[in-house]
Structure 1
Amino acid sequence: MTRALTMALAALGGAAAAQAVLEVPSGQGVTLYQVVLEQEAERARFLFLAPGIALEDGAGLGFEAVVGDFPWLCDRVILPALAENGWAARQVVIAMSDREIAFGERDAEAVQFFEAFAVEDGACVLEVF
């Protein structure tokens, strides 16, 4: 199930926050553009636009440069948004991409990084793929 962006960001201050650029620990600005709730799997997917990421050295921020952004987003943005909206999730998957890609679609040109977290005792715990 896909939810409106404004609902997902209610914990950040309502509709105005829906287009908010969040500065994450790497220093890049990311914007949440889609939330997908998979109720049966108890999974929440949060897709962020991160135009500064890149696979090539010198072309942008690589995975190692942004890896610390994932737990920060999970703990400081996603868990509060889930709680504020009364949503339950046992797993959170965070995607960053250099362009908006709708969930389930492919774009061979896009750079995408992913991390998954278990939600245990109100905290995000990194899951290794």
Structure 2
Amino acid sequence: MAEEAPGPLAVPSGQEVRYLDTVQSAPGPEGLTIRFRFVAPAIARDTGSVDAETAQADMEWLCTNFALPRLPAGGPVPSQIVVSLSDRAVAFGEPAPEVTQFFEAYTVADGRCVWEAF
């Protein structure tokens, strides 16, 4: 589905964010969910410079500018897009308490990402 993005993505905070992968094999609580995962070292709890609020704006930007254009043109429409940032690459679904991770969920309405509170 989503191809590898070349180099860092230019998110609003200016932090370096790199595309990791897309997961669509694990359903979410609302049905079909497509997860776009990114590595963002600047969110690290001990050495990072980007807080959760700033990262939230970056995740919304990633949903709108990265995830939406990469949704499948045909087939079922996902009920949710989840954008996640982690300070380093981790395997999907495996516990990693030492890793800082932020997640935001969105529905797609009128071609826009609409934030959904977890």
Shorter-chain-normalised TM-score: which range? 0.7 to 0.9
Contact 2:38–2:85 (Cα < 8 Å) also in 1: yes
Give the TM-score of the pair, scaled to structure 1.
0.78
Q: How far, CA to CA, are the matches of 2:11 and 2:86 in structure 1?
A: 14
Gaps of 5+ in 2: none
Match of 1:55 among 45, 48, 51: 45
Q: How far, CA to CA, are the matches of 2:26 and 2:93 in structure 1?
A: 16
Q: Deviations over 1:6-52 (max 9, x none)?
A: x403xxxxxxx534210200111111111111476221001100011
RMSD (Å), alpha carbons: 2.0
Residue 61 of structure 1, CA deviation: 1.0
Contact 2:41–2:48 (Cα < 8 Å) also in 1: no
Where do residues 17-96 of structure 1 align in structure 2 (5 Å cutoff)? 17-38=4-25, 41-56=31-46, 59-83=48-72, 86=74, 88-96=77-85
Q: How many residues align?
A: 114
Q: How far, CA to CA, are the matches of 1:21 and 1:86 in structure 2?
A: 29
- Higher helix share goes to which structure? 1
Residue 86 of structure 1, CA deviation: 4.1
**Distance of aligned partners of 1:54 and 1:39 in 2 relative to their CA distance in 1, 3 Å threshold:** closer
Residue identity over aligned pairs, in percent, reads 43
Give the TM-score of the pair, scaled to structure 2.
0.84
